[in-house]
A = this chain, B = another copy of it.
Amino acid sequence: MSTPKNFSELHAALAAASNPDAAIRAGAELRNGQLTKPPGALGRLEDLAIWYGAWRGEVRPEINAPQVLIFAGNHGIAARGVSAFPAEVTAQMVANFAHGGAAINQLSKLAGAQMSVHPIDLSRPTADFTQGPAMSDADVMAAIAVGWEAVDQASDLLVVGEMGIGNTTSAAAIAHALYGGAPQDWTGRGTGVDRAGVALKSRVVAEGLAANPQAAGDPLQALRCLGGREVAAMAGAIARARVAHIPVILDGYICTAAAAVLERLVAGALDHAVAGHASDEQAHDRILGHLGKEPLLRLGLRLGEGSGAALAIQILRGAIACHSGMATFAEAGVAGG
């Protein structure tokens, strides 16, 4: 499928995306019921394996080619002092990713995942969204295209992560535009600002919504006006995976905000995604609640980079190893309950 060139084409691609085959799903459920364990004894692992198998069209699925995509972008609002780190750190961390020194490098390697880093116009930060839209139509579509085209069609699992100083504030503004509430419902410590920093973030979010009235309740306008290039790229990659039936593990708050744009655009657009973890950012739980997704892990991470989602690959691998590798009661000669 060709890369969407405008909002209409992205919307149409998601609306036309097919769902898993019900017969495959039923076959995976049947197999699950025959495995040598009491019914339901593997808890959430059972649901995960069935969900994954259904999306891949395999009753006994395997994970052979997970992909981790890291997008990076710079934000005009970083100049407002919303982060504990200076904006230069975005490019420095991209170099760290390239040299294998970041957390996501270690976690991708552990998961056997192909990882690539996609800095997007770092020398051209988005506009300060308290003064008007962060991006033009052309800029947001270009960033969406970076994500869309970065997805390897041969991969069988996708994690998207990000780096972008200031981007928890961008995520908060998007979430506020999508779900309403108060600005402070959606802001938190990010990489480590203090109470005054959180209050500043809430003010910046409020100013952002005031400066971009077209963003309220319009998910793609929220992405354009309040997002960043890396946020748009994540949305593009998750959308491409939906169309291609590549299951996705969502990462932290920023990734989840990017994903939420798609679900608000077309209900069911995230049926191919599970929540990898709940981060320490309070608003992450709130947005996951809106999406109806229960996180697999809850370990107090607040790093981004796809780190929590990459760690959660191991949980999914465990689920699938059991589902596809265990003997049935009949095969093992074990008496059922």
Question: Interface of A with B (CB < 8 Å)?
Answer: 35-45, 84-86, 88-89, 92-93, 95-96, 99-103, 105-107, 109-110, 191-192, 280, 296-303, 307, 310-311, 314-315, 317-318, 321-322, 325-327, 331-335, 337
Jot down 5 A-B pairs with beta carbons below 8 A, ordered by A.
Answer: A40-B192, A42-B301, A92-B333, A93-B334, A96-B332
- B92 touching A321, Cβ below 8 Å: no
- B192 touching A38, Cβ below 8 Å: yes
Residues of chain B within 8 A (CB-CB) of A334 are 89, 92-93, 96
How many Å from the CB of A57 to the closest CB on chain B? 22
Known A-B contacts: A42-B301, A101-B326. Give 20 more (CB < 8 A). A37-B103, A38-B192, A42-B307, A43-B280, A43-B299, A43-B300, A45-B311, A85-B335, A100-B327, A101-B332, A102-B327, A105-B325, A105-B326, A106-B318, A110-B314, A299-B315, A310-B318, A311-B314, A314-B315, A314-B317
How far does the alpha carbon of A256 sit from the alpha carbon of B335 in the complex, in Å? 27
- A38 touching B85, Cβ below 8 Å: yes
Closest to A336 in B: B85
**A42-B103 CB under 8 A given contacts A93-B334, A96-B36, A335-B92:** yes
- A192 touching B332, Cβ below 8 Å: no
- A311 touching B315, Cβ below 8 Å: yes
Residues of chain B within 8 A (CB-CB) of A301 are 41-45
**A303-B41 CB under 8 A given contacts A102-B36, A325-B106, A335-B85:** yes
- B96 touching A327, Cβ below 8 Å: yes
Residues of chain B within 8 A (CB-CB) of A322 are 103, 106-107, 307
How many Å from the CB of A60 to the closest CB on chain B? 12
- B99 touching A327, Cβ below 8 Å: yes
- A101 touching B191, Cβ below 8 Å: no
Residues of chain B within 8 A (CB-CB) of A101 are 36, 326-327, 331-332
Closest to A301 in B: B43
Residues of chain B within 8 A (CB-CB) of A39 are 192
Closest to A303 in B: B41
How far does the alpha carbon of A49 sit from the alpha carbon of B297 in the complex, in Å? 17
Residues of chain B within 8 A (CB-CB) of A333 are 92, 95
Closest to A89 in B: B335
Residues of chain B within 8 A (CB-CB) of A110 are 314, 317-318, 321
How many Å from the CB of A301 to the closest CB on chain B? 5
Closest to A324 in B: B106
Most interface-central of A39, A96, A299 (chain B CB within 10 A): A299
